[in-house]
A and B are shown apart, each in its own frame.
Chain A
Amino acid sequence: MNVLTARQKGVAVFLAVALVVLIFELIRRRRLREEYAWLWMLTGIGVLVLAVWDELLAGLSVLIGSASPPPTLFFFGVLFLVLICLQYAVRISALTVQVKNLAQKVAILEDQARPSPPADRPTASR
């Protein structure tokens, strides 16, 4: 099976290496936290491995029923993107709960910090 042309392989390897280098650089500058980087890193390394390992790409193409190898590369790229989005959605959900709890606490603490209770409350019964 003719796997990837030299040009296809070159582009895939270049992009994968660029992605891995970019991610590493972002981590080094503390712009990206490691917990978000691992799926991205996996994506870059995965594409790199598939691009250079002809037999693996050919085998996976047969496995998923792909007519030719280049779409296989796309398929796994998209699959990882979906996983990354899902990871973000999970994280956003957790952050939403945390932000909600913080805002509720702020609302209650703000009330406690108010210097004097509202005057002549019609319902005071303590």
Chain B
Amino acid sequence: MLAEGRGLAVIPARDESASIQETLARVAEAAPHLDLVVVDDGSSDGTREAALAAGARVLSHPFWLGYGAALQTGFKYALAKGYRWVVTIDADGQHDARDIPSVAEPVLAGTADISVGSRFLADPDYPMDALKRAGVRFFRWVYRALAGRSITDPTSGFKCLNGAALAFCARDVFPHDYPDTDMMITLQKARFRIVERPARMRARRAGRSMHARFSGRVYYVFKVTVSILATVFRESHGYLGESPVPARGPGPASRSPAAEKMS
């Protein structure tokens, strides 16, 4: 099923040398027809070398740009190379690569533009500390209030996007740090069809979470909240109206303006 059209797995990695090879192997095993690209976001621990040694294609940021920018580099690469759809999966091995086919299925079938792997659909009792639980509830509530629909895992990094969604996310509206709830609301407002599929999460074994520090979490909630408010305000002023109504289904990505810019 995954052999339909050319698909690319984008794996953003920052200082994940301990887990990147295992992640690559698991993705290759679970989705053998998918091309892989690791976006090394200015790692200093040999992540790039580890990924190259595993035979992966690696795009290296010359310095740290942020998780969102790393994803976007992968999107721009996919558009430049004419890939028709992309799966994003975290390098730390927390996402179970065996879920790639089921997460990608709605996009490949043309019934969705974006499919999100939700850890909560796979395990409603997914363990989290109190702070994180409160954060997830807050963003679910905000999403439902502003997007008019519900989503169980608005901060998931495990997604599948078709060509139209890729072209949209390759623009400067895409946040360079945390493209989470704010971007999901923007995509929903831009009338992309978003669905969720269950995705199992494994415990982190190595490396360090982006959200490990308390100050980082506070900044995260602040930033995404401000960004959401700005999104709503922009939308009401026709900002999103500048973008063409997205084409439906996994169309030829190479015709998008972003792809032309890259070439």
A residues adjacent to B (C-beta < 8 A): 96-97, 100-101, 103-108, 110-111, 117-126
Residues of chain B within 8 A (CB-CB) of A111 are 57-59, 77
Residues of chain B within 8 A (CB-CB) of A100 are 65-66, 69, 176
- Output the nearest chain A residue to B25 by Cβ-Cβ distance: A122
Q: What CA separation (Å) do A96 and B63 show in the bound complex?
A: 13
Q: Does chain A have a CB within 8 A of B14?
A: no
Q: Is the CB of A108 within 8 A of B262?
A: yes
Residues of chain A within 8 A (CB-CB) of B52 are 118
Q: Is the interface of B mostly helix, strand, loop or mixed?
A: mixed
The contact of A121 among B57, B62, B76, B172, by CB within 8 Å, is B57
Q: Is the CB of B62 within 8 A of A108?
A: no
Q: Is the CB of B55 within 8 A of A122?
A: yes
Residues of chain B within 8 A (CB-CB) of A107 are 39, 59-62, 73
CB distance from B104 to the nearest CB of A (A): 15
Name 11 A/B residue pairs within 8 A (Cβ), A-sorted. A96-B176, A97-B176, A100-B69, A101-B172, A104-B61, A104-B76, A107-B61, A119-B55, A121-B56, A121-B57, A125-B34
Q: Is the CB of A120 within 8 A of B77?
A: no
Q: Is the CB of B28 within 8 A of A123?
A: yes
Q: What CA separation (Å) do A126 and B260 show in the bound complex?
A: 22
Q: What CA separation (Å) do A123 and B60 show in the bound complex?
A: 19
- Output the nearest chain A residue to B64 by Cβ-Cβ distance: A103
Q: What CA separation (Å) do A117 and B55 show in the bound complex?
A: 9
Q: Is the CB of A118 within 8 A of B57?
A: yes
CB distance from A115 to the nearest CB of B (A): 14
Given A108-B73, A122-B28, A125-B34, A103 and B65 touching (CB < 8 A)?
yes
- Output the nearest chain A residue to B33 by Cβ-Cβ distance: A125
Residues of chain B within 8 A (CB-CB) of A101 are 172
Q: Does chain A have a CB within 8 A of B72?
A: yes
Q: What CA separation (Å) do A121 and B34 show in the bound complex?
A: 11
Q: What CA separation (Å) do A122 and B21 show in the bound complex?
A: 12
Q: Is the CB of B72 within 8 A of A103?
A: no
Q: Give residues 40-80 of B contacting A (CB, 8 Å).
A: 52, 54-63, 65-66, 69, 72-73, 76-77, 80
CB distance from A109 to the nearest CB of B (A): 10
Q: Does chain A have a CB within 8 A of B32?
A: yes
Among A105, A124, A125, the one with the most B-chain Cβ atoms within 10 Å of its Cβ is A125
The contact of A123 among B32, B39, B176, by CB within 8 Å, is B32
The contact of B56 among A97, A108, A118, A126, by CB within 8 Å, is A118
- Output the nearest chain B residue to A122 by Cβ-Cβ distance: B28
Q: Is the CB of A126 within 8 A of B28?
A: no
Given A108-B73, A118-B57, A103 and B63 touching (CB < 8 A)?
yes
- Output the nearest chain B residue to A125 by Cβ-Cβ distance: B33
Shortest beta-carbon contacts, A-B, top 9: A107-B59, A104-B73, A122-B28, A121-B55, A123-B28, A125-B33, A123-B36, A100-B69, A103-B61
Q: What CA separation (Å) do A124 and B28 show in the bound complex?
A: 10
Q: What CA separation (Å) do A122 and B24 show in the bound complex?
A: 9
Q: What CA separation (Å) do A96 and B176 show in the bound complex?
A: 9
CB distance from A96 to the nearest CB of B (A): 7
